[in-house]
A and B are shown apart, each in its own frame.
Chain A
Amino acid sequence: MMDTTVRLPGLTLKNPVLTASGTFGFGLEFEDFGDLRTLGGIVVKGMSLKPRQGNPMPRVAETACGMLNAIGIQNPGVESFIKNKLPHLPWEDTAIIANLYACTAEEFGELADILSAEEGVAALEVNVSCPNVKEGGAAFGQDPVQIGRVTEAVKAKARNKPVMVKLSPNVADIGVCARAAEAGGADMLSLINTVTGMAVDLVTRKPLLANVIGGLSGPAIKPVALRCVHQAVRAVKIPIIGLGGIVTARDALEFILVGAHAIQVGTANFLRPDAAFRLVQQLPKDMEIIGIGSLDELRGTLVLPGA
């Protein structure tokens, strides 16, 4: 038996495969396509204190080897998640990770307080992509000071739940952002969120998204994601969860090679609804093919020129 267990601070995963927030709903949408308990974990749709309807339509567009989205965190609110979704999830058998979305450090703290009281929540993932209207409109995630502040606010209310901060690639120096989250007390990091982008229609002369600008995801961004993970691994000591364009088990292993502890599967869930389940099945087979008995044998063993 191949050992795929991943030990993270305060969180043990049976395998390194998590599903990415916003691409796997609340998990329940995929029950017909595979056994949720076989997954390493499920990061559920981003949630806010109050329900949100999100951005106007159209808010998704397919692009070459990827897609743009500007959903705008449509969600039923944290109370509804706890009441209507969490009890139906197999949280005793797989890690359910809540994804927190707020626009002030105080709101992040409140969300953390509510969610960390739930036995069924294994960890908190912090999405810092909200535009900071008070300070010029750039996303929280683009300002290391704000990243630190939000991380502290969540950590202060997280009780015994591990906190992972999800970093944006749309920054000049991902290492600085990674260090800011680490200094704020993050137990681990996840990266990357989507890459800002846009698409236009030459016939109608309109943007394909009503929001004009959206976030690019899918295989098109995998090289950006690998680069970010590579740089973040070098900048901090806390474990990193890699994502961005992962479709196959070999893609997943590439992120481990670069130094990630675990990975998330996002847009690949749209290529086929059983993608994450298949990746879990395929992983030990590909580990055998490349000749490793555990992920530790591969993790961070990237051979760099001149080494």
Chain B
Amino acid sequence: MKLCKKVKVVDVRPFGQPMTAGPEFFELRLENPGWDEWKPGQFVMLRPTSFGLEHVWARPFSIAMCDKQELTLFIQRVGRGTAHIAALEPGDHVLVWGPLGTSFVQEPDTHTLLLAGGVGIAPFKGYAILHPKRDNLRLVFAHRASARCYPYEQLADAVKAERVQEEKPEHLARVITLLHERISQYADGLVLACGPAPFLTTVRKYALEYGARCQLSLENRMACGVGACLGCVTPGVDGENRRVCVEGPVFWAQDIALGGGK
């Protein structure tokens, strides 16, 4: 059951930066909206009161973690909407609807590779915490900003983890090399990925090449988040559009035609 609820901001915690107003990377902690259940990979639509009439869409964010008390999101400020969210203060109210969409599969006994690009690391926090056999998880984190800007350390404490930084465009090759090498080692395992579209396109290519079972979490623009507007669709390999907010955001790699390819 999805709920639309006004909840209180508990905290806005900047990552990798001093406590400044409107941080670029931050954890947003909210009161639990009263959900019965959720699964890692699912997302919420979030709307601060300050959007007023200027922003007619809420913004989608992966659920980083949710327990009885709190819902935690991990957010990078990239534009006007996320600037409003970065400016929130404890005690402010936001509207949240969720939990929405599909989730990552959990197979405790399967060796599982988690591939995160930038803020795509967010859903893996909850995934790792709730996984019954963390020894079977391995994280590869590709990032542009300093690793301290992301919840990487928290995850590296919980699971085997390595990271690769892409400070300049020339570094892209080493990200691709690492993705290639790790995916080749998980041909009979499970590969789960979340990050920007070019990152996912690369992951998909190698996963299909090595026959690894692979799920990708997409980040398309969303207006409604509930399957009504048909603005978020991505084409399937069969040519039929899939709604990222309902049939996704997590898809099996072989079902969707990312980047135009088959």
| A residues in contact (CB < 8 Å) with B | 22-25, 29-30, 32-33, 45, 53-54, 57-62, 64-67, 69, 71, 74, 218-219, 247, 267-274
Contacts and interface: CB of A to CB of B under 8 A. Distances in A.
A71 B228 contact: no
B220 A57 contact: yes
Contacts of B225: 273
A218 B221 contact: no
Interface stretch (B53-61, B112-120, B147-155): B53-61
B8 to A, nearest CB: 17
Contacts of A25: 226-229
B4 A33 contact: yes
Give the interface size bracket for B toward A.
Answer: 20 to 34
A62 B228 contact: no
Interface of B: 1-4, 47, 53-58, 81, 95, 97, 220-221, 223-235, 239-241, 246
Contacts of B232: 60
Given A53-B240, A65-B54, A74-B233, A58 B221 contact: yes
Chain A interface main SS type: loop
A61 B222 CA distance: 9
Contacts of B3: 32
A273 B224 contact: yes
Contacts of B239: 53
B56 A218 contact: yes
Contacts of A33: 2, 4, 97, 226
Main secondary structure of the interface of B (DSSP, over half): loop
B241 A269 contact: no
Given A29-B228, A33-B4, A271-B57, 4 more contacts: A29-B224, A57-B233, A270-B56, A270-B229
A62 B54 CA distance: 9
B223 A60 contact: yes
Contact of B223 (A32, A45, A270): A270
A269 B228 contact: yes
13 contacts: A22-B230, A33-B226, A58-B221, A60-B221, A62-B57, A65-B54, A67-B56, A71-B229, A71-B231, A74-B241, A247-B53, A271-B56, A272-B58
Contact of A30 (B57, B220, B228, B241): B228
Contacts of A71: 229-231
A66 B229 contact: no
Nearest to A274: B4
Contacts of B223: 60, 62, 67, 69, 270
Contact of A62 (B4, B56, B230): B56
A59 B4 CA distance: 26
A106 B108 CA distance: 58
A62 B81 CA distance: 10
Q: Which 10 A-B pairs have the closest CB atoms?
A: A60-B231, A25-B228, A32-B2, A29-B227, A219-B53, A218-B56, A29-B228, A270-B223, A74-B230, A270-B224
